[in-house]
Structure 1
Amino acid sequence: MSQKLHRRTLLQSIVAVAATTAFGCNEEETTEQQAAQSRAYFPQSVASGDPRPDSVVLWTRAVDEEHGGDVTLSLEVSTEESFGTLIANPKGLQALVAHDNALKVKVTNLSPRTTYYYRFVYEHDGERFVSPVGRTKTAPAPGEDVAVKLVVASCQDYVGRYYNTWQRLTQLGLDADAIVFLGDYIYETTGDPAFQSTNTLREVKFQKPEEALVQKTGFFQYYAAQSLSNYRDLYKTVRSDPVIQKVHERYPFINMWDDHEFSNDCWGSNATYENGRRTEKQDDRRRNAEQAFFEFLPIDTAGTAGEGSIDVDAEPKYPNTRIYRDFEFGKHVKLIVTDYRTYRPDHLIPEDGYPGAVVMDETVLAALGATPAFANDLFAYVDLDATEYEQHRATLRQVYVAQSQQAGLTQQEASAKAATWVKGKLALAYVNQVLAAAGAGALAIPPAGKPRGLAFVHMGKLNPFDVRGTRNIVIKDTYDLYAAYRYAATQTASENALGTEQETWLKGKLQAANTWKFIVSSVSLSALMLDLRQKTDIPDASLRQRFYFTTDQWDGFPTKKKELLTYVKNNVSNAVFLSGDIHASFASVEEGVPTLTAPSISSSSIKEEAGTAVQGAGFAQGSPIYRYIAVETDQTLRAANPNMVFSEADRHGFLVVEAKPGEVLATYHLLPSSEVHKDYTKRTPNELQRQFITHALRVQNGTITNA
C-alpha cells in the first residue's frame, strides 16, 4: 500500500532532483525557495509596536494550511542582524486558531534606544521555518538628552488604492524612533461608492459575506464588516500588501483607532449608516472590531502586561475598553495618545432630527441675551400642538411619513417618528416651505407677531436622515450658539468627547517635565471653516454664511475644544497636537496651541470628497459653490481660518516630526492624489521620488513658521 505523499516532501523532492541537473537551482536559488516556503507560514510577516525604554511588543501571524490548528512558535531577539547572540528566546508561544493564528509577545528587560532584530521560528516535521526578519527600536531612557524623530500617519484605505506613500518612506530609510498611526488603519467597507474605488486588483472580499452588513447607495450594493471574521479579513488583506509589510518590518508602530476600525463617524458603539432612520447601537459589532484590532496590531493596551504572550481575550472590550496611553522618549518628548471615539457623545444635531424642530425658544434666547440677533422673520415659530394648527399638524405628518417611507422606513416606523418629531415648537421657515411643496400653500402661517427661536434648519439641516446639516456643512454661528447652550444645559455632557476619566488622565500627563508634550488626537483640531458670506456670486443668499466643513471632528464640539485648548495654553509649556482623519495636511495655531494634521496614506483627499459631496447636494461643477469648496479648497480654507499656516487638501503622504530642545521640525512628504491609484512597485524608485514634494515647518514658542 503506497504511503500518501506529503506536500512538503514533494516540494523537497523536486528541489533535490533539480539540484542534481545541469539546469537545477544553485545554492542562492535554493535559499530563496526556502525563504519563500518559510514565508508561506507567515503570510502577514511580522510587526512591532508600543516601544518603551525597556520593552516592545512583537507580532506575527503563523498558519499551517496543511495541518491547520494552533501553531507553536519560538521567538529570537538579537542586537545582531545575524542573530549571532540572542538576548531573548522564548519558546512554546502559541499562535491560536481562536485568535486567527495571530500572536503578540511583549519582550522586556531591553536596553533603551537600541535597535533589535527579531524573527519567529516554526519547527515542524524536523524542519525549521523562519519568518521575515523584523527590526525594531526601543525608546530613549527617561531623561536622555537626544533628539526624537517620529513619523505621523493615518487613513490607509486599501480598496482601489496603493501604498505609494509607505513605499516612499521605505526609500528614505529614515532613522525614526516610531510611527505614530492615528487611526483608520482599515476601512470597514468593501467598496462604498462614496469614496472607494471599483479597482478589482485592490479589493476586499469577506470569507463570510453572509455575516456582513449589506449597504446600499442608489444602485450600488456593498458590505460593511460586522462579524469577527469580517474584521479579521480586513486586517489580513491590508497586511498582505508587501509594501506595508516592509514598513512594519522596519519600524515600531504606536497605534490609535479612529472610526473606520469600527464604523464610519461612530460614537461609542453607535454606527451612522442609517443617518437616524433606525437605532444603530451595535455592542457586539464594536467588540468584534476591537478584538480584531487587538489581534492584528502590536499594541499593549494598558502598558502593564508582563513578559510573554499577550492574552487578547483578557484585554477589556467595549464598554470597558481603555487604549489611551502615554510614552516617554527621553528628556524631550512625552507622547500622550488619546482616544476620541470610545467615550464621546453623539453628534449634537441628531441625524433624524426634524429640520423645523425648535431647540432654543424665545425664553432661552432671552436668557442668553441673544434675542436681538433673531429678530428676523426667518426665526419665527409656532407651537404646532395648539388647536388652531391641527390641520397643519396632520398635513405635515402626512408629508413626513411619505418622505420617511421613501427613505426606507416602514409605515409603522415612519408613523412613530412622525409622532416624535412633528409636534411642539416648529420653525415657520421650514413649515411653510413643506406646506407649499405639498400643495397646501393656503395653510402658510404668517410670521408676523410670532415668537423667535432657533431650529435645526437654522443650522443647515434641510432634511431628516441626511448627513448634510448634521455632520457635514453645518452653519457655524448658529451651531456654536446651540452648542454652548447644550454644553451648559447638560453640565458639559453634550461635548464630553474624551470622557471625564480620560480628560483627568490627560491633564495629569500634561504636567510631565519633558520638553515637548505631543498630544495625539485621531481627529484634527485645526478649525476647518468655510466663509462664504462675501461670495456675492452665489445666488442663494441663504448659502452665503460660515460653515463647518465637518462636525465629526473637534469642530463639532466647539465649546469643549476651546476649553481644552485654553487649558493647555495656560497650563502646559511646549504642547503640540498631532492629528489626522481629515485626509489633508494642516498646520495651525488654535487658541495659542500649535496643531499639526497629517495627510492620509491613501484615503481619498478632502478635496476629492468635497467634490463628491457638493455634486451630491445638487451643485454642478461650474457653480460658484462647487468652485469655492471643491476647486479652490485650500484658498477658501486659508481665507476663513487666519490661524492656518499651511494647508494641502489634495495630496497624500506622511508627516515627520523631529523634537529637539528648542524646536520641533515638522516635514510633510506629499504625493498628488492622482498618483495613489497607480502601482509604483512596478516602477523605478526615481519615478516615485519625482512625484513627492516636501514642506518643512518649525514649531517654536507656540508659533509655526516655514523652516
Structure 2
Amino acid sequence: MSNKLHRRTILQSIVAVAATTAFGCSDEETTVTQAEASRRFFPQSVASGEPRAESVVLWTRALDSEHDHGAGDSTLSLEVSTSESFGTLVLKQDGLKALADNDHAIKVKVTNLQARTTYYYRFVFEHDGERFTSPVGRTRTAPAAGDDVPVKFVFASCQDYVGRYYNAWSRLLQLEDDDVEFIVFLGDYIYETTGDPAFQSTNTLRGVSFSKPDEAILQKNGIFTYRAASSLSNYRDIYKNLRMDPVMQKVHERYPFIVMWDDHEYSDDCWGSVATYQDGRKDEKNDERRKNAERAFFEYVPIEANPNGAGEGAIDVNAEPTYPNTHIYRDFEFGKNLRLIVTDYRTYRPDHLIAEDAYPGGVVMTKEALAGTIAALPFSPEQKAQISAQFANDLFAYVNIDDSAYANHKAVLRAAYLDQATKAGLTPEEATAKANTWVQGNMALAYVNQVLAAAGQSALNISPGGKDRGMAYLHMGKLGLFDIRGTRYIVVKDTYDLYAAYRYANPAAPKASENALGDAQEAWFKGKVASANTWKIIVSSVSMTALVWDLRGKTDIPDATLRQRFYFNADQWDGFPTKKQELLGFLRQTNVSNALFISGDIHASYASVESGIPALTAPAISSGSVKELAGNAVLAAGYAQGSPLFGYVVAQMDETLKAGNPGLVYSNSDAHGFVMLEVNGTEALATYHLIPSTEVSKDYSLRAASELEAKSSSQKLRVQNGAITLA
C-alpha cells in the first residue's frame, strides 16, 4: 500500500540521491536522472569491512526495485581502483551473483591489496543494455605487520532507528578526518523491535514496518502492542530499512567497519538463543529465531564470519555457521602498535545469575554454604568476621517451609503465588507448575512473614529467633515474581558478589555460572593478548566499567532497604563479577602491557581503570541515554523527581557513579556520540565527540551544518601506563 509522500520524506529522498555521488563521478558524466536510476538498483548503497593489510570485504545489495520481492539473481561486476576517477583498475571482477536467496545482498573478499592504502570501489549492474553503477565507496587496508605507525579509528554502538536520527554519524562526517582508518561497531547495529514504548519513540517518520508482520512476535507493554522480529524476513526488513538512511549510507561509503553484535541484533538482554521479554513467565529459547537473526546479520554486514576463511571472491553466506556453531570472535593487526581483539559476549554466555522467575523468598545459600563461601574469600580474618556479623541480622533468618510444622504457612504462600502468577498472565496450569518448582524448601522469613501479613494471616508469623541465617533472592534485590529488577538490573552488590562467588566455586560445574566467553574463546583470548603489538585493545560489546550506586550513607532516603550498594546493570560484566576479576587478574599477572577494553551497550560515556586495566565505554549513536532510561524506571517505580532517590540515581547519576567506583575517571550518562581513538608507541588518545540527548529526535540532515556543530562538544582523555587522565 502506498502512502502520500510527506514533505520531509521528499527532502530525504533528495538527500539520498545526492549521496550517490559522495565521492565524485565515474569516467562518464552522471546526470541526476542516471543517479536516480542507479539508486533504484542499489537501494542500500555499498559498504566495506574487515580491513586487513592485504584484503577487505566489499558489500552491496543489487536488484531491480520494481521486482524487490521474488526477483531473480542479479549479475554484477566489481571495480576497484586507487583512483577516485577509476582511471586505472587494480581489480575488475565479472560474473558476481547477488542471489535472491541472500536477499540480493553480496559480499566479496578482495585480496592481494597493498597495505595502508586507500581504495575506491563500485559495483556495476547491466540491465536491458544499460550500465548502472552503484555509489562509489572508499575503503582502506591496514598497515603491514611491524609498521611503526599511529592508528586512528572510531568506536561506537547502539543506533536505534525508531524515532531517532543519526546525528552523531553526521557529526563524524562533518569532521572530515581522513586519518580515521576504520570504525569498530560494538553492537546493537539494529534493534529487533518495531516500537517498544519502554524505550522507543512513536515518531512515524522514523519507524520500521515488517512486510510479513504475522511472522513477528506480538509483544505487549501495558496498553501498547508492538512487534519483535522473528523470521528471516523480519530481520531483513530492519536491515534494509536502516541502510536506506542517507547518513548511514554515507558513513559506510566512507569507512570500513569491523562489527561485533550484542543483544538487539537478536533479542534484548539475550543469552545464546534465549530471549528475555517475558521475564521468566515463558521459556523463550528459540534456536530458529536466533539462526534467522544471524543469517540476516551475515547477509547485510560486511563481515567474514567463516573461521576457516573464504579465500577470495564472493563469500558464501550459507557457509558462515550459525547458532549453535557460530564463530565470529576474531582479531586484526594494524602494524606494530595495535592488535584488535574482537570478543563475542552473547553467543556462549550462560544465563543471568538470578533467574527472572526466581522466587524472592527462596534461599540460595544455607548457613553452611554462607560460612564456607565467606571463609574462602581473599580477605583478612577481620574482614571476614565483619561480613559474617552482618548475616547475624534477623533479616537473614530462614526455615524449611516443607517441615510439617509450617504446612499452613506453605499453603498461604502457595495460594499467594498462584494469585500473583495468574495476574501476571500465566495460565492456571503454568502457575501451578512454577509454584511446584519454587514454593518449597528453605524460605527467608523476611519474605514469608511479609506474604502472611499481606494475606491477613499475621497470626502465623514465624519468629526469627533461634533460626539459621542464610541468603535468599530477596537479599539481592529480587522483590517480584517476574521482573528485571533484582535480576538483570539493580541488584544489591555485596550479597550478589558473595552469591556469584558461591556459584562460581560449585564443584559440580566449576566456573560454569560465569563462563561468559566459553572455554574455546577464552583460551583464544588469552593467547591473543600475549601478542607483541604495543596496544592490545579488547573489543567487548558490554562495558567493563563497574556501575555502582552506593547509597549506604544516604540517610535522606526513607527506605532503609535502599541504603545499600547496587549494581545498576547485571547484564554487562558487573553481572559476572567473579569472571570479570579473573580475566583482569590474568592480564595483570601475565604482565600484558597496554591492555585496553573498549565497549558500548550502556548508552553512556565512561572511562575507568578496573583493577589496574583501563576501560573506555562509548555512548550510543542514537539509542536513549542511560540517564533517560533510568529516569523513566525510577518514575515508574513510584519515586517522584524531587525525591532523594531520584536525585542520587538520576539527577546526580554521574556523581553517584563516581562515588561508587573510585576508578571512574570520566562519566557522562546523558549524551550521544562516538569515540575517536588514536594509538601510537607510547600512548592512546581518546576523544569523546558528544551531542546532547535532547537533539537525537531532530533531523539535522535538513539543517545547516553549523547548527549541529554548535550543539557538539568533545572531551579528550589520555591512556598511558595503565592510567587514564583528562587531556
Tell me if both proteins adopt one fold, taking TM over 0.5 as the criterion: yes
Match of 1:77 in 2: 80
Provide, for residues 646-673 of structure 1, a one-character-per-residue CA deviation record: whole Å limited to 9, x for no partner: 0000000000000011000000000000
Counterpart CA distance in 2 for 1:59 and 1:615 is 45
Provide, for residues 473-522 of structure 1, a one-character-per-residue CA deviation record: whole Å limited to 9, x for no partner: 00000000000000001300000000010000001011111000000000
Counterpart CA distance in 1 for 2:529 and 2:52 is 18
1:575 to 571, 578, 595: 595
1:524-539 maps to which residues of 2 (within 5 A)?
A: 524-539=543-558
Counterpart CA distance in 1 for 2:510 and 2:389 is 26
Match of 2:190 in 1: 186
How big is the shift at 1:438?
A: 1.2
Counterpart CA distance in 1 for 2:58 and 2:574 is 37
How big is the shift at 1:33?
A: 1.0
1:127 to 124, 127, 130: 130
AA partner of residue 57 (structure 1): V
AA partner of residue 491 (structure 1): P
Match of 1:290 in 2: 294
Give the secondary-structure state (helix, strand or coil) at the position aligned to 2:89: coil
Match of 2:575 in 1: 556
2:165 to 150, 162, 169: 162
AA partner of residue 407 (structure 1): A
Query: Any conservation in 1 of the 2:605–2:668 contact (CA below 8 Å)?
Result: yes
* More moved, 307-316 vs 623-632: 623-632
Match of 1:375 in 2: 392
Match of 2:23 in 1: none
Counterpart CA distance in 1 for 2:692 and 2:30 is 41
| 1:688 and 2:705 correspond | no
Match of 1:117 in 2: 120
Counterpart CA distance in 1 for 2:200 and 2:267 is 15
| 1:102 and 2:100 correspond | no
1:606-621 maps to which residues of 2 (within 5 A)?
A: 606-621=626-641
Provide, for residues 29-60 of structure 1, a one-character-per-residue CA deviation record: whole Å limited to 9, x for no partner: 97111011111110000000000000000000
How big is the shift at 1:617?
A: 1.7
How big is the shift at 1:172?
A: 0.6
Query: Any conservation in 2 of the 1:357–1:421 contact (CA below 8 Å)?
Result: yes
Counterpart CA distance in 2 for 1:444 and 1:705 is 56
AA partner of residue 177 (structure 1): E
Match of 2:316 in 1: 311
Match of 2:38 in 1: 38
How big is the shift at 1:372?
A: 2.9
AA partner of residue 310 (structure 1): I
Give the secondary-structure state (helix, strand or coil) at the position aligned to 1:244: helix
How big is the shift at 1:94?
A: 0.8
Counterpart CA distance in 2 for 1:30 and 1:65 is 20
Match of 2:518 in 1: 499
| 1:86 and 2:106 correspond | no
Counterpart CA distance in 2 for 1:29 and 1:408 is 63
Match of 1:10 in 2: none
Counterpart CA distance in 2 for 1:436 and 1:373 is 26
Counterpart CA distance in 2 for 1:619 and 1:303 is 54
How big is the shift at 1:90?
A: 1.0
TM-score (norm 1): 0.95
Give the secondary-structure state (helix, strand or coil) at the position aligned to 2:532: coil
How big is the shift at 1:618?
A: 1.9
| 1:58 and 2:63 correspond | no
* More moved, 431-440 vs 665-674: 431-440
Counterpart CA distance in 2 for 1:380 and 1:416 is 27
Query: Any conservation in 1 of the 2:40–2:65 contact (CA below 8 Å)?
Result: no
1:335 to 336, 340, 345: 340
AA partner of residue 546 (structure 2): A
2:216 to 208, 212, 219: 212
How big is the shift at 1:465?
A: 0.6
AA partner of residue 343 (structure 1): Y
Give the secondary-structure state (helix, strand or coil) at the position aligned to 2:505: helix
Query: Any conservation in 2 of the 1:303–1:325 contact (CA below 8 Å)?
Result: no
How big is the shift at 1:373?
A: 2.7
How big is the shift at 1:584?
A: 0.2
Counterpart CA distance in 1 for 2:463 and 2:48 is 67
Give the secondary-structure state (helix, strand or coil) at the position aligned to 1:494: helix
1:656 to 676, 691, 695: 676
AA partner of residue 684 (structure 1): A
| 1:676 and 2:696 correspond | yes
1:596 to 613, 616, 619: 616
Provide, for residues 519-573 of structure 1, a one-character-per-residue CA deviation record: whole Å limited to 9, x for no partner: 0000000010000011111001110000000100000000000010111122200
Counterpart CA distance in 2 for 1:170 and 1:569 is 38
TM-score (norm 2): 0.93
Match of 1:519 in 2: 538
| 1:324 and 2:324 correspond | no
Match of 1:231 in 2: 235
AA partner of residue 695 (structure 1): Q
| 1:345 and 2:365 correspond | no
Counterpart CA distance in 2 for 1:414 and 1:676 is 42
Provide, for residues 595-645 of structure 1, a one-character-per-residue CA deviation record: whole Å limited to 9, x for no partner: 000110000000001001111222122211111111111111111111000
Give the secondary-structure state (helix, strand or coil) at the position aligned to 2:632: helix
Counterpart CA distance in 1 for 2:66 and 2:704 is 38
Counterpart CA distance in 2 for 1:257 and 1:223 is 21
AA partner of residue 416 (structure 1): A
Match of 2:410 in 1: 393
| Unaligned ranges ≥5, structure 1 | 1-27
Match of 2:303 in 1: 299
Give the secondary-structure state (helix, strand or coil) at the position aligned to 2:499: helix
| 1:411 and 2:428 correspond | yes
Q: CA RMSD in A?
A: 1.0
Counterpart CA distance in 2 for 1:544 and 1:70 is 63
| Unaligned ranges ≥5, structure 2 | 1-27, 376-386
Query: Any conservation in 2 of the 1:362–1:371 contact (CA below 8 Å)?
Result: no
How big is the shift at 1:367?
A: 2.2
AA partner of residue 630 (structure 1): V
| 1:430 and 2:430 correspond | no
Match of 2:467 in 1: 450
AA partner of residue 346 (structure 2): R
| 1:254 and 2:273 correspond | no
Counterpart CA distance in 2 for 1:331 and 1:264 is 38
Counterpart CA distance in 2 for 1:121 and 1:643 is 53
Give the secondary-structure state (helix, strand or coil) at the position aligned to 1:247: helix
How big is the shift at 1:371?
A: 4.0
Give the secondary-structure state (helix, strand or coil) at the position aligned to 1:260: coil
Counterpart CA distance in 2 for 1:522 and 1:134 is 27
Give the secondary-structure state (helix, strand or coil) at the position aligned to 2:469: coil
Match of 2:658 in 1: 638
Match of 1:22 in 2: none
